[in-house]
Amino acid sequence: DTEVTQTPKHLVMGMTNKKSLKCEQHMGHRAMYWYKQKAKKPPELMFVYSYEKLSINESVPSRFSPECPNSSLLNLHLHALQPEDSALYLCASSQAPRRGADTQYFGPGTRLTVL
């Protein structure tokens, strides 16, 4: 099973709302990632969690707050977003963070619209 699940599939929120995106994998992967993807662009890395610890933050604004409650779950908490944050948010996982030879598997994404 190479499945990464994400909820919700679609989310519309106002600039003052607080919402969370959820990601789950049961492949025993120890690295999990959040990416943001705008139309006709490649995914842009936001955060990397390695063994449930934040290992990379690509200078993401604090209105995005990641959380890794356990090795299977990854959340992205959203607060006071801007319309330009509207995008497809992709979660991914890979097996062993430092081996460098592992495949990354993506969830279906959450399509976020900020009004």
Partner 1 sequence: RKEVEQDPGPFNVPEGATVAFNCTYSNSASQSFFWYRQDCRKEPKLLMSVYSSGNEDGRFTAQLNRASQYISLLIRDSKLSDSATYLCVVSTGNQFYFGTGTSLTVIP
Q: Is 38 in the site for partner 1 (CB under 8 A)?
A: no
Q: Is 112 in the site for partner 1 (CB under 8 A)?
A: no
Q: Is 71 in the site for partner 1 (CB under 8 A)?
A: no
Q: Is 88 in the site for partner 1 (CB under 8 A)?
A: yes
**Phi, psi for residue 15 in degrees, rounded to 5:** -70, -20
**Residues that bind partner 1 in the complex, under the rule CB under 8 A:** 31, 33, 41-43, 45, 48, 50, 55-56, 88, 90, 92, 94, 97-98, 100-109, 111
